[in-house]
Amino acid sequence: MRVMLLFVAAALVAGAQSLTEYGPAKGTLFVVGGGPLEGTGILEAFIERAGGPENARIVVVPTAGGNKAADGTVRVYKEEQVVASWKKRGVRNVRMLHTHDPKVADTEEFAAVLRDATGVWFDGGRQWNIVDSYAKTLTLREFHKVLERGGVIGGTSAGATIQGDYLVRGAVAGSNIVMTPEPEHEHGFAFLRRSAIDQHINTRNRWDDIIPVIQKYPNLLGLGLSEGTAVIVNGDRFEVIGRWKVAVHDNTRLYQPWEKPYYVLSPGDVYNMKTRQIEKLGIGTPRK
């Protein structure tokens, strides 16, 4: 009977997942373009989606910040420093999760903290560090289960890009390399499927940088996010919040020869990734 119930539960999850093409069937994603977030309301909204300061159980992953120190030794993160900003926002239950070793990440003991988590947040840094630690491990499966339970996953900068399918700027040699030559660093965690996500597009002038990605992989939806700006994803829709703009690289759209092969969304806009249509326009969005 127990085996049958598990089979039915797995089938229901798979069926629900098949109803969406991009975002999770359950749960919410916060994909943030980096930069200072004070005054944007992004972190406050994330905490509320995770259950509020009193009830949220948030796990913070600082791994993108690096697995090795400058001298080549294993980098050590202090939990009190990693979670300090969350506690200042009143979050009572917040933990750090980090390892440099995928063998550790594949253990029940390490992944246990995720079993009752209502929110997971990925800090910024270099996204390939996150891949090296958690790809193909039990921990990665538990990240996905947070969404399956209706939880929330968010991240900023590298913590945004890791949420996509194709891993933009995954090269170890430097973040200026948009398409990595390393097969092991070509894919993110696909919380947002069929997508390629870039960040810091405004201050680092990256507006055009993922054009080659979408040219090579035209089935993908490309998202470029400005600093202090996020998309909140539910199912196949997302809403833009924060300070500035989001560039949408959509290969199915017909562009004029003089146009850039993307269009720009503003805070308040709602976009349907499945239909590739803007469903609600905010102030300043081109009406195309």
48-76 pLDDT tens trace? 999 999 999 999 999 999 987 777 788 88
Q: Look at residue 5 and tell me if it is in a domain.
A: no
Q: Look at residue 12 and tell me if it is in a domain.
A: no
Whole-number Cα distances in Å, 72 to 20, 47, 62, 171, 248:
43, 35, 18, 19, 39
Is the overall model pTM greater than 0.85, yes or no?
yes
Q: Look at residue 14 and tell me if it is in a domain.
A: no
Whichever domain contains 268, its CATH number is: 3.40.50.880
* Residue 282: DSSP 8-state: -
CA atoms within 13 A on the CB side of 112: 4
Q: Look at residue 256 and tell me if it is in a domain.
A: yes
Q: Work out the angle at residue 16's Cα, subtended by the Cα atoms of residues 11 and 20, and round it to the nearest 5 degrees.
A: 140
Residue 174: domain span: 31-67+74-280
Each residue of 42-72: b (16+ CB within 10 Å) or e? bbebbbebbbebeebbbbbbbbbbebeeeee
Task: Reply yes or no on whether the pLDDT at 12 is more than 60.
Answer: no
Write out pLDDT tens, residues 204-239. 999 999 999 999 999 999 999 999 999 999 999 999
Q: Look at residue 201 and tell me if it is in a domain.
A: yes
Which structure tokens are listed for 278?
Answer: 């803007």
Q: Which amino acid is at 45?
A: A
CA distance 7 to 4: 5
- Total domains in the fold of the chain: 1
Residue with tokens 């992953």: 61
pLDDT of residue 118: 98
Residue with tokens 């990440």: 105
Q: Which amino acid is at 223?
A: L
Q: Note whether 31 and 225 are within 8 A (CB).
A: yes
Element (H, E) at 61: strand 57-61
Q: Look at residue 17 and tell me if it is in a domain.
A: no
Q: Note whether 119 and 59 are within 8 A (CB).
A: yes
Q: Look at residue 24 and tell me if it is in a domain.
A: no
| In the chain, % of residues over pLDDT 90 | 83
Closest CA to 63 of 162, 144, 152: 162
Closest CA to 32 of 55, 64, 3: 64
Q: Look at residue 22 and tell me if it is in a domain.
A: no
CA distance 2 to 33: 44
- Torsion, Cα 235 241 244 248, to 10 degrees, reads 10
> pLDDT-based confidence at 127, cuts 50/70/90?
very high
